[in-house]
Structure 1
Amino acid sequence: MKEDVFAYIDDHKAQMMDLWQDLVNQDSPASYREGVDLVAKRVFKELEEAGASTRWDEEGKALIAEIPGDSRAPVLLLGHMDTVFPVGEAARRPFTVEGSRVTGPGALDMKGGVAVMLSALKALHSAGFSGRPLKVILVSDEEIAHNGSKATVMLQREARGCAACFNCETGYEDNSLVIGRKGGVVFKAAVHGIAAHAGNNPRQGRSAIWEMAKKIDDIQNMTDWDKGITFNVGTIKGGTVSNAIPDYCEVEGDIRFQDPDISPFVKEELFKVLNHTYMEGMKTELLLYHEGMLPMKMTEENRKLFEFVKKTGEENGIPVSEGKLVGGGSDSGYVVYAGVPTVCAMGVKGRFNHTRDEYALKDSLFERAKLLGAVILKMNEV
């Protein structure tokens, strides 16, 4: 059957590229419901052709599909249909193939990964795959950390009890896969001071920028490299003119950590810094504290599943180098938290996610579709 799966992929490269192109050329930021719906409509069609029954989960804003099988636990395939790019980006930078590279908004993250997943499933269906059931979850708001939906609850509910999960997120050119990811928090804080003329009555003022500068130093110094915790203040704004004591300063920051159980500690430490006052009369308020992606914990089960994937790749001449920890988040964290072994970054390989320099390697579409197909076939044997 594996030979039939690989032959299908070899014989349908043009169709796979067309699918990739259609997905990339449809704008689908999470806020653009019409665009996301059009992507979902195309994905529905492909999944039905792969023998799946599909449904839309409105609470989680996600497409869920199931391919029935025997009584064993299903294999879960995971991904997202949204991108970080605004409406109009596909018209400005459409899907383009130049030599070995494919460019266009979301070509790498992760329209290419969706094409990998759908192509592998269609190849398996064409080859007559049966046995272990398969489940697909494709969310529509991953890039905004599911702010506004109940996808995080849905993901854990739907994943629970699955035998394994393969997330077709962005792949890496060094042939590595991901078995651990940091989680993140986005925060925004403001200091309110007392305005005054810098020349006439500076002693009556209280500089919000000065107070915030001290807090920024404290926040940055909470970084603990050994524990994998990083704090970063990324933006700052405040003041009006150079000869006035500023009465307002605002910052935005990012916190990353590896262990989901450490989240309460991180929040507590940030609050301690913000609540400490250096100058009398100052007031600090937390404007936003949004817990983004849950960390993908590096479990022993993840390591074993990676070794399973690596061995499968070796048996089929498909390079897989290492299983690693990365700083960027994904929905794999929620699946691992639900107790499901997971390997992430099974999608097309490339670089520069979330930027206009983003590109994917064309041939990795076919390579990764074969790897995913081979892994599912081998999972069916155990």
Structure 2
Amino acid sequence: MKYLKSVFIYSTLCCIACSSPQKSFEKGNYERAFNGALTELDKKDNSRQNKVLLNKSFEELIYHNEKENYKLVQSGLIENLEVVHANNLDIIDKYHNAKRYLNPVYDTIASDFVNRNDLLRENIALAYWDEGNTLMDVYNSTGDKFKAQDANFNYTKAYDYNIGYEAIDSLLDVSFAAGLIHVLVETNVWDMNYSWRVDNTFKNLIHLSRGFNQVHYENMISIADCRIDVSFNNIEVIENTTRETQQFTREIEDGYTTKVDSSGNTHRILNYITVRGEGVKEITTWTYNWRVRSTVRQLSPFCQMNNRHFDERGEIRHVRYDVTGDVRAVPEEYQNVTFFNRSTEEEKLINRMIDDIYDDFVQYYFR
């Protein structure tokens, strides 16, 4: 009985697995039905039901593909023609994946899809080529760099669709160079002590040229579209000192007294005294405020950057202890002397602040 029950469960699961693609087909999900039937066939389930379902699903996919493509073509938009091209590639891929199970009639249909897509690819490439040429004509007559950038986009698309014109490489280079926006950055540091460090950090900007943004640093070029003057104000340093005084008392051993009891035995009795001391905890904080202003000079209509200021704040903290009175009464923390060199700490802090200002500047203008 248990054996028959197991066989029944196994048979039921198999039927469910076989019927899942069928249910997808009945619900109009032909993509899922096609993939499900193909999966079953690849699992060596070469049932007639799966083959029929695969072919019916493929037929429906072709029908709906053609229906959608017709609407897209009517729009006349290049972008929609690209969607048609992608749709056709999907049908061609499905054909190749399932060819061994499909009716031979689809061989001719698939071949027709390939031929039509080759022609469509050429038309798309030519459309982008023509649009690129039109935009470059506008650039040549007006100097509009944004038109050159758009032309470069169109030439790139034409190249992606394998246009066979030899001039495409040259036009890609020419349109890219014509569309470059040159950004010149110059720094001005009031405190000469930090000038070298700022300069050494900001010269890394030349490595941030991306796309059509070409970044220059401290380079007197005549082709700049934007000039960003970065002015570092003097650092404002605010010093604040607080003192905490605390009294301490402590009972400590202070020798001993020898006594002889009535039996003649000698005893040592420890003597205790109370000592008093004072601990002073002096906390000095130096707060550094640094304002940096970037002023954008728009040297051409193609500069789209804005003024900005960056505020950086840092702090150095030093704790010093003094002891008066009897040091034996004061906890050890008040007696530990640590080395402190404000100049060294200040140098470390300023370096961190410059790095943070640079990161904020890059994030705002070039990310």
TM class, shorter-chain normalised?
Answer: under 0.3
TM normalised by structure 1 equals: 0.19
Q: TM-score, normalised by structure 2?
A: 0.20
| Higher helix fraction (1 or 2) | 2
